[in-house]
Structure 1
Amino acid sequence: MVAFEAVTKRFGRDDENQFTALDGIDLSVARGAITGIIGRSGAGKSTLIRLVNGLERATSGRVVVDGVEVGGLSESGLRDLRREIGMIFQHFNLLSSRTAFENVALPLEIAGLPAKAIRDKVGPLLDLVGLGDKANRYPSELSGGQKQRIGIARALATSPKLLLSDEATSALDPETTQSILDLLKRINAELGLTVLLITHEMEVVKTIASDVAVIDRGRIVEKGRTFDVFTDPKHETTRALLSGLAGAKLPEAIARKLAATPQAVSRAVVRVTFFGETAQQPLVSRLIQELGSEVNIIAGTIDEIAGEPYGSLVIAYSATPEVLARAERFYCQTGLQTEVLGYVA
């Protein structure tokens, strides 16, 4: 649905004062998918998304939306393109003087639809976002989550093929955020709508995005399936962004006692990660049988990433050469991902 081909965007008129916001971006957004763009503040996320609907023009390279090169469009061509692209914003951007119905109707009025066609379109959209009973309410009478739902209904008014989300949940509390994410997932599934969202909230991407790209200082440093990137991040920026979502954490009291090498009588402290088929199998009991040694469970977590199960345990067992060799064989046979955190007496 969207392709960025060697896209660079610079701001400033002369070479001395130019700032490169995007530097050689190559990225494809699959039709019908929910794709997340994550990165720190100032990484270039907002600039990237503004290139899609022509609010900014690339300095070099091509931005192609549904087969149309955005940079080559006239103003009238851009207006036609924008009717096929909905956008939802962090701070809702509703007009305070218009009711919920009138806010949703605005893009249809601009497009010149007759009043009856507007009524026939807006009513079902308000029902879709669960606010059919709030049609005559003004933004000041709505909660943050309700305002964002109105914003989503407005973005869908022109029956777009693509929905852009610019930090759409960052101003909402966790419970409201989850309800908005559930709504976006439902819209994606029911309408087949392609969703491109930018966010600095890893939980948002983990919950709904099938694919993700990590941007840092204007460059894409990592991209792929959300599950693959989140469970095995390659780039240091990705690892830093995901540090708050890491698997089971080692208790501080044990972390202080860790040694890098085993002593005469030591226990290995190991983080074991379960995903895919391994998440459904009773591998801990099998590990105990295989080792012939006690296994202590120190910490654990179970989660889902992009709808796929994911679990992590921190365990400890004897660090004798025989037990360590058995453990290594078991991990190789089962495909478990492991990390030796250290050794404790």
Structure 2
Amino acid sequence: MTLVTAVADAASPDVANAAPMVSFEKVVKRFGGASGQPEFTALDGIDFSVARGSIAGIIGRSGAGKSTLIRLVNGLEKATSGTVVVDGVEVGGLSEDGLRSLRRQVGMIFQHFNLLSSRTAFDNVALPLEIAGVDKAAIKAKVGPLLDLVGLGDKAGRYPSELSGGQKQRVGIARALATDPKLLLSDEATSALDPETTHSILDLLKRINAELGLTVLLITHEMEVVKTVASHVAVIDAGRIVEAGRTFEVYADPRHETTRTLLASSLNLPEWLRNGIKRQPSAGDRALVRLVFFGDTAFKPLTGRLVAELGADVNILAGAIEEIAGEPFGSLVVSYSADPAVMARAQQFYAETGLKTEVLGYVA
């Protein structure tokens, strides 16, 4: 399955029609297989591309292959077969000098910040410039504006131990931007942060993307991160892309079981209800169903009509109105009898009205 990540609708046609910033073609990555070690396939036939100027997300559970995939982009790992192309350059064919040049064009931010505790915020941001041999005057002229950009102009002299988690991540972002990269990789960069700080970091990434035209490729296990910031998403499971497309469409109408599972984890359901969900119904159980409202169905009184169709048996358990990649989107989680006759009437109603639905499972 291929992910062709288009840039935002507001992007210029020239950018939208340009060659992808990143492309994977039939990429396989295996580990082991030598000295009697068992062979493990981490990535199995990956095909997708990320358009210039876009924010794209790769989402999957732990062990799905996300980190391996992103390490192929900056040459920290080499594909067993297939090609990884960044800005027109095949990564696997680069020499050590070529890899160093590539890494100056590819910034990276990490889950645990990876700041040097003995260096101030200013000095942490300056580090890649020092390594590149930039003179002190040029470093000073570069680092100050970067700290201002991430909202830390007044924290230049602070050490990591004096900064909050969100501030540390902002330093990490400024450091990643120091060499004027064309591509920014985010490896679970918000998973160690609280929800409020996560949103502030994601807002910063969106602003950097818009103001600098920087392509952003982020990996995460959190659907909330993807729907907040990414225009397109690929879902990875067991080393394969199992679903991909516009974030709005994938979120509204998930096709693969892995996507549905990741989505269910982001729904605002009480813990006691989540823990009681079953895959198959027993006698007397109730179906737990997610109703999705967008486009033509967004302003129709379909919930009331569903209640009229099925009777007072319908319970509303959760609901939200939000934006996904800038588009309005509403969802309700309802329950009603899992009796086959009731389920059949509901399905007929959904087919007649065009309402998108998903059975999350069954509860007693």
**Both proteins in one fold, TM over 0.5:** yes
Residue-by-residue CA offset, 1:137-193 (whole Å, 9 max, x unaligned): 111111111000000000011111100011111111111111111111111111111
CA contact (8 A) 1:247 1:312 kept: no
| Mapped partners of 2:134, 2:281: distance in 1 | 71
CA contact (8 A) 1:247 1:313 kept: no
1:193 pairs with 2:214: yes
| Mapped partners of 2:244, 2:251: distance in 1 | 10
Deviation (angstroms), 1:92: 0.6
Residue-by-residue CA offset, 1:18-38 (whole Å, 9 max, x unaligned): 221111111111211111111
Aligned positions of 1:190-269 closer than 5 A? 190-246=211-267
Determine the structure 2 residue equivalent to 1:301.
319
Aligned positions of 1:59-138 closer than 5 A? 59-138=80-159
| Mapped partners of 1:23, 1:329: distance in 2 | 39
Q: Which runs of 5+ in 2 are unaligned?
A: 1-20
1:141 pairs with 2:159: no
Of 306, 311, 317, the match for 2:331: 311
* C-alpha spacing 1:54/1:341, structure 2 compared with 1 (3 Å): closer
Tell me the SS of whatever aligns to 2:25: strand
Q: CA RMSD in A?
A: 3.4
Partner amino acid for 2:173? I
Q: TM-score, normalization: structure 1? A: 0.84
Partner amino acid for 1:94? L
Residue-by-residue CA offset, 1:294-317 (whole Å, 9 max, x unaligned): 796623412332232232252779
Tell me the SS of whatever aligns to 2:44: strand
Partner amino acid for 2:332? S
1:274 pairs with 2:293: yes
Aligned length: 335
Q: Which moved more, 1:327-336 or 1:52-61?
A: 327-336
1:2 pairs with 2:30: no
CA contact (8 A) 1:272 1:315 kept: no
Deviation (angstroms), 1:259: 8.5
Q: Which runs of 5+ in 1 are unaligned?
A: none
Tell me the SS of whatever aligns to 1:242: helix
CA contact (8 A) 1:260 1:342 kept: no
Determine the structure 1 residue equivalent to 2:74.
53
Tell me the SS of whatever aligns to 2:72: helix
| Mapped partners of 1:48, 1:276: distance in 2 | 34
CA contact (8 A) 2:264 2:360 kept: no
| Mapped partners of 1:268, 1:300: distance in 2 | 14
1:12 pairs with 2:32: yes
Tell me the SS of whatever aligns to 1:83: helix
| Mapped partners of 2:347, 2:28: distance in 1 | 47
Q: TM-score, normalization: structure 2? A: 0.80
Determine the structure 1 residue equivalent to 2:54.
33
CA contact (8 A) 2:298 2:330 kept: yes
CA contact (8 A) 1:269 1:314 kept: yes
| Mapped partners of 1:19, 1:126: distance in 2 | 42
- Higher alpha-carbon Rg: 1
CA contact (8 A) 1:47 1:56 kept: yes
| Mapped partners of 1:168, 1:293: distance in 2 | 47
| Mapped partners of 1:164, 1:45: distance in 2 | 12
